[in-house]
Chain A
Amino acid sequence: MPGTVQSIERAATLLHAIVESGGQMGVTELAAAVGLPKTTTHGLLRTLLAVGFVEQDQRTGRYTLGAGLLGLGSHYLDVNELRSRASNWADSLAARSGFAVRLGTPAGLQVVVVHHVFRPDDSPQELEVGAVLPAHATAVGKVLLASRPAMARALADVPLDAFTARTVVDPAALLVELQAARARGWAEQQGEFQLGVGGIAAPVHGPGGLVVGALGVSGPVEELFADAARPALRAMVVEAAAAVSRELAT
C-alpha cells in the first residue's frame, strides 16, 4: 500500500488487537500482538489515549476502547441537522444579547461557520454560513481546540498566522489559554482575528458527550467586554450552548 502513513496503520492495528482480545490488554501483550517494540507501542497508546480512542484502567493499567471512538460512528452529526436543532437557541441568544451569533464546527485546523444570526440592529450584514475562521484566533475556534487536544497539538507543528498584533502565535501560550478555557467552559477572543472585534463562545456537546461545535457571540470589544455586561453575557452564551446540547441529546 503505497502512500499510507505508518503510524496510523499501526494505531489501527492496535485498536483491532484490543477488539480481538475481547476488550482489555496491557501494553506488553499489545506490543507482542502487533509485533512492535514496547516503547513504540506505548507512544502510540499515549496518543490514542489523548484523543479518546482508548481508555486506560487506572488500577490495572490495561487498555480498552475509548468512548470517543464509540461516539464517532453512531453519533455522527450532520452539520445541517446541527443548524436546524440550534436555530431557535441561536436566535434567542442574538435577541437577548444584542450581538451576532455564530455556530462553528471543526474543519481540519480551522473552524467552519455552520450557522450565523445577524446582530439585531438591522445594519447591513452578510450571511457568513460556510465561511472558514482560524481556530487559534477566534473564541469559537479556541473552544473547539480546547476540547480536541490532538487538534491543538497539530497546530503547534504549523506556523500560526498573526492576524493582528494581539494574535497569540506562541504555541505554549496558546496551550495555556486553551487549558484555562477548558477548565471554565468558555473562551474569549479580544481582537486577535480582527482588530476591535471580540467574541465569547462555549462548547456544544453531541449526544455522545463529544464537543461537536462552539456557539458564540461576537461584536465590538468595548461593548462585549464592558465590565457591567461581561458576566451576564458569558452566562447567556454558556446557557445557550447548554440548551443546544440538551436539544441534541433528545
Chain B
Amino acid sequence: MTERYVLAVDQGTTSTRSIVFDRAGRLVAVRQREHRQHFPRPGWVEHDPEEIWANTQLTAAQALRDVAGLPGQVVALGIANQRETTVVWDRATGRPLVRALVWQDTRTGPLVEQLAARPEAPLVRERTGLELAGYFAGPRLRWVLDSVPGARARAERGELLFGTMESWLIWNLTGGPDGGVHVTDVTNASRTLLMDVRSCRWDPDLLDLFGVPAAMLPEIRPSVGVLGTATALPVPLTIGGALGDQQAALFGQTCFAPGETKCTYGTGSFLLQNTGEDLVRSRHGLISTVAYQLAGEPVHYALEGSIAVTGALVQWLRDSLGLIGSAAEVETLARSVSDNGGCYVVPAFSGLLAPHWAGRARGLVAGLTSYVTKGHLARAVLEATGWQTRDVVRAMDADSGLPLTALRVDGGMTTNNLLMQFLADVLDSPVVRPMVGETVSLGAAYAAGLAVGVWSDTGALRRNWHRSAQWVPDPKRVAALDAAYPEWERAVQLSIAWGERP
C-alpha cells in the first residue's frame, strides 16, 4: 500500500505552520512563518488576515514541495486555529473590513459590561455554557459592527462575512470571492457566544442580544468531515477537518473517552477534559465547550480550564529579573535547592482565569524570608504552574465526577523534568508525554485524515499514540504537597484581595 500523507495547517497566535504527517502520525515536513502583531492602542491586539492567508499559502506550498519527492501522496488538509480571533470581510472583494481582533484583545470590556446589564444577559450562560466575557468572539464582532461606519447595514444586506480564523482560511482556500465556502467548525462556533451549545445552531435570541445579522454567519459544520476542496494550493486538496487549537490538541492526544484529559503547557496553559456526549455545566469556574464532532455522529463535549500565565512566568524570571539565561535553565536554578523554602509565586499578571476568574487580582510573591534564595524563587516559579494545574483539576473533578487517571501533557514546558515530576506529585496522578509533541497540528491532521479514510476510525488513531515519557507520583511527596496546598490557596486569596483594595 502506498503511503498517504495529511497536511495540517496550524494557524496560531504568533505564526502559521504547515506540517505533513504520515499514516503512523510521524512528522515528515514542517514549514513555519511568523506574522506581525499589531498593537494600535493599549489592550488592542490585531493581525492582518491577508498576511495570514499569504503565510498559509506559502508554508503549505513549501511543505507540499518538501514531500513531493517521497513515495505516496498528500490526500487531505486539516486546519487548527487560534480561537476567538475575529475576522470580518467583504464577500465580493475578499478584503477584510478591519484587521482581525485577536483573542488577547481586551477592547470589548466596556461593551461586555453594557450587555451584561441587560435583562436577557443570563441567556448567554444558559445557551452557550460560557460566561459573558470579552474573551470570546461575539463581542468582537459586535464591536466591528458598531465601529465601522455602514458595517451593520452592509452585513444585513449580506455583503459582509464573519468568521474565526479557520472560516477565513477555508473561504480563501476554496476560491474566495469566486465560490469560496463559508463554513465554521462546531468547536470554533462554540466559542462565539452566538451558538446554542446543545443544538449546535446559531441562536436567534443570542443574535438579537449581540445585534448580529444572521446573513453574515458561516454555516456550522462538524469538525471531522469534508468541508470543501482547497483549490488555491499547488495541488487541490480535500479539506477534511477543522478544530480550534486546544480542541485539536485534545484530538491529537487521542483523548476520545470521557475523563481523558490533556494539558498544553506554553506561555499559558489549557487543560481540557473530554466529558463525552454529556454537556457538563461547570459550577466551579470552568468552561463547557465542544470537544469535537465527527460527521454524522453526536457532538462530544469538554470541560476547559485556561491558565493565563505558566511559561510566561519563566520568561519573566529570564527577561525581567535576569536570573536565568534561557527558559530551560530555570530547572538548573531550581535544582540548586531541595524545596521552595516557604516561598509561593502567584502569577496573576493580568488577573487569574480558571477557576478563579478574578480579573483584578495581581501577582505576588508570598513567604519571603532572608532564607529564600533565587533557587527557592525558581522553584516557586515552576511550582506555580503545578499548583495552578491542581486548582483546575480539582474544579474538574468536582464538576464532571470523572477522576483524573493520567494527565496527557504537551508543549514547551514538558522538557522540564522537575516540573513534570512536581505535576505528578501535586496531582497524585501519572503524567504522560506523547511521542509527537506537535499535538495541535497532529489533531488537525487526524481530523482531516479520518474524513477521507486515511485512518479507519479513532481506534486507529489511538494505536498511533505512544508514550515518550512518564512521571509517576511519589507517595511521600504527594503527602507533603497535600499538606502544603492550603498555603498556595492562601497566597491566591491574598493576590485576589490585593487587586480589590479600595
Contacts and interface: CB of A to CB of B under 8 A. Distances in A.
Interface in B428-483: 435-437, 466-471
Nearest to B326: A81
B3 to A, nearest CB: 14
Given A78-B329, A80-B331, A118 B470 contact: yes
A96 interface: yes
A83 B470 contact: no
A91 B470 contact: no
Nearest to A87: B415
B328 interface: yes
A122 B331 contact: no
A117 B435 contact: yes
B441 to A, nearest CB: 13
A118 B332 contact: no
A214 to B, nearest CB: 18
Given A87-B415, A118-B467, A94 B328 contact: no
Contacts of A81: 326, 328-329
Contacts of A118: 435, 466-470
A95 B326 CA distance: 27
Contacts of B62: none
B416 interface: yes
A169 B27 CA distance: 42
B93 interface: no
Interface string A111-124: 00001111011100
A84 interface: yes
A95 B435 contact: yes
A127 B332 contact: no
Number of contact residues on B: which range applies?
A: 20 to 34
B26 interface: yes
Nearest to B324: A78
Interface string B1-34: 0000000000000000000000010110000000
Nearest to A130: B417
B312 interface: no
Q: Which of A83, A85, A125, A127 has the most CB of B within 10 A?
A: A127
Contacts of A94: 435, 468
Contact of B467 (A85, A115, A122): A122
A102 B468 CA distance: 11
B212 to A, nearest CB: 42
B26 A96 contact: yes
Contacts of A125: 467, 470
Contacts of B435: 91, 94-95, 117-118, 120
B327 interface: yes
Contacts of B329: 78, 80-81
A130 B471 CA distance: 13
6 contacts: A80-B329, A84-B412, A95-B466, A120-B435, A122-B467, A129-B417
Q: Which 3 A-B pairs have the closest CB atoms?
A: A120-B466, A84-B328, A80-B331
Interface of A: 78-81, 83-85, 87-88, 91-92, 94-96, 115-118, 120-122, 125, 127, 129-130
Given A78-B328, A95-B466, A127-B417, 5 more contacts: A78-B326, A79-B332, A80-B332, A84-B326, A91-B437
